[in-house]
Amino acid sequence: MSAVTETSTNSPARSVVVTGGNRGIGQAIVGRFLAAGHRVASFDMGGEPATGALGVNCNVTDADQVEAAFKQAEEANGPVEILVANAGITKDTLILRMSDADWDAVINVNLTGAFRVAKRAAKSMIRGRWGRIVFTGSVVGLYGSAGQVNYSSSKAALVGMARSLTREIGGRGVTANVVAPGFIETDMTAVLPDDVIAKYLAAIPAARLGQVAEVAAAVEFLASEEAGFISGAVLPGAGGLGMGH
Positions that interact with ligand NDP (CB under 6 A): 19-20, 22-26, 43-47, 58-61, 86-89, 109, 136, 138, 181, 183-184, 186-189
Q: Which residues are catalytic?
A: 151
CB of residue 145 vs ligand NDP: minimum separation in angstroms? 10
Q: Which is nearer to ligand NDP, 4 or 206 (CB)?
A: 206
DSSP H helices, 1-146, are 24-36, 63-77, 100-106, 113-128, 140-143
Q: Which is nearer to ligand NDP, 125 or 178 (CB)?
A: 178
Q: Which is nearer to ligand NDP, 7 or 145 (CB)?
A: 145
User: How many Cα atoms within 13 Å fall on the side-chain side of residue 68?
Assistant: 12
Contact by Cβ (8 Å): 116, 66: yes
Phi (first) and psi of residue 219, to 5 degrees: -65, -45
CB of residue 178 vs ligand NDP: minimum separation in angstroms? 10
Q: Which is nearer to ligand NDP, 109 or 218 (CB)?
A: 109
CB of residue 151 vs ligand NDP: minimum separation in angstroms? 7
* Contacts of 86 by beta carbon, 8 Å cutoff, 6+ apart: 18, 19, 20, 21, 25, 26, 29, 135, 136
CB of residue 10 vs ligand NDP: minimum separation in angstroms? 30
Strand partners, 40: 16
